[in-house]
Amino acid sequence: MRARPRLAYVLLALLLIALPFLVGAGLGNSWVRVLDFVLLYVLLALGLNIVVGYAGLLDLGFIAFYAIGAYVYALLASPHFGLHLPFWAILPLSMAAAGLFGVLLGTPTLRLRGDYLAIVTLGFHEIIRIFLNNLNAPYNLTNGPQGINLIDPIQISGHALNRPLELFGFLVPSTYLYYYVFLAFTLLIMGVAIRLQDSRIGRAWAALREDEVAAAAMGVNTRNVKLLAFAMGAAFAGLAGGLFASFQGFISPESFSLWESFLVLCMIVLGGMGNIPGVILGAILLIGIPEALRHLGDLQRAALGQVVLDPADLRMLLFGLALVLMMIYRPAGLLPSRVRKRELAAQDGVAEQEQASLYDSKA
């Protein structure tokens, strides 16, 4: 009985190691780049899952923290300020800065829940984006809409990851190298998320999500626990942002549109809120399928001589359709967490909860 899961883990590990080569050989090297982005979005989705899935705080401005992480990396490792710190020094700073902003967003919104919180976080996202866009004067901090260019790649033992690595006579391309770095971080963060979920802190988050008043009455310091959720989620996004900046080599405020926030939220809703495998599946589907659709344009050109249906339009169309179908057939997501599944299935359950207005003390 015990050997079986262990074997499965070994096979999974081998698959993850071989994946870029399989994908590269089967679909072409451009798909390895897609794979890199899938991992970045898995990181983001894991972060947002803490805020939305665990603690039940609807955050629509999550990409703001991704942007902060990315800009911290860019400013400290690019010719913009002439600073070139190593990645292992910057990534913790990216996480800390994003986490700090998470607390900054969390503090004034402690009393808000649901729709109201969503609106404020939406606003927060726009504030950050507009700041990044305009902070090129009077002092040029972010280089405004032009963004920051020539960001240092990650360097590991003297080798910059933006160059292929020669290994046993083989040339391993840059996107493959980044894949392994991103994979390592993703597995690390996944472990953190899993362990947090099943802990005293994770239970406090769940209690907060279920009933804030009862959580407070059971001795949960709701303020600290909420701020912790915001800070943790934001720190994960900050890490993803730093990795993104180094991978891409160029960032501008345009990289961090509101659409990205929705995309990450869609990933966890589609995959199954609160459930880590679901969240990962969501990220794979929502990054992979649009990429696949891109090739539909080439197919049309080959078959019909012209592009009848623009793949970009088709993408939005299918996206909408998928979400509508989801809401009808699998409202808890493709791989729902045990709790969400029962929550949505159960029509009975406890007496109507007392109104949230009961909680009139200072939060």
The site for other proteins (CB under 8 A) is made up of 191-192, 195-196, 199-204, 206-207, 210-211, 213-222, 228, 232, 339-340, 342-343, 346, 348-354, 358-362
Q: What are phi and psi of 170, to 5 degrees?
A: -90, 150
Q: How many CB atoms sit inside 10 A of residue 29's CB?
A: 14
Map tokens 């802190």 to a residue: 201
CA distance 141 to 192: 33
Per-residue CA distances from 57 to 60, 206, 230, 267, 351 (Å): 10, 11, 9, 16, 23
Nearest to 333 by CA among 100, 1, 53: 53
CB-wise, 156 or 206, nearer to other proteins? 206
Smallest separation, CB 239 to other proteins (Å): 14
CA distance 73 to 240: 11
CB-wise, 15 or 345, nearer to other proteins? 345
CB 254 within 8 A of CB 314: no
CA distance 170 to 24: 14
CB 245 within 8 A of CB 251: yes
Smallest separation, CB 321 to other proteins (Å): 29
CB-wise, 235 or 251, nearer to other proteins? 235
Map tokens 């970045």 to a residue: 40
CB-wise, 232 or 293, nearer to other proteins? 232
Smallest separation, CB 347 to other proteins (Å): 11
Smallest separation, CB 227 to other proteins (Å): 12
Residue 24 in tokens: 């590269």
CB 124 within 8 A of CB 62: no
CA distance 327 to 296: 27
Smallest separation, CB 338 to other proteins (Å): 9
Smallest separation, CB 226 to other proteins (Å): 13
Smallest separation, CB 286 to other proteins (Å): 26
Smallest separation, CB 352 to other proteins (Å): 7
CB-wise, 82 or 349, nearer to other proteins? 349
CB 77 within 8 A of CB 84: yes
Smallest separation, CB 111 to other proteins (Å): 14
CB-wise, 157 or 361, nearer to other proteins? 361
CB 212 within 8 A of CB 113: yes
CB-wise, 35 or 216, nearer to other proteins? 216
CA distance 242 to 68: 9
Name residues whose C-beta falls within 8 Å of residue 299's C-beta, 6 or more positions apart in sequence. none
CB-wise, 173 or 331, nearer to other proteins? 331
Segment (H or E) for 159? strand 159-160
CB-wise, 84 or 338, nearer to other proteins? 338
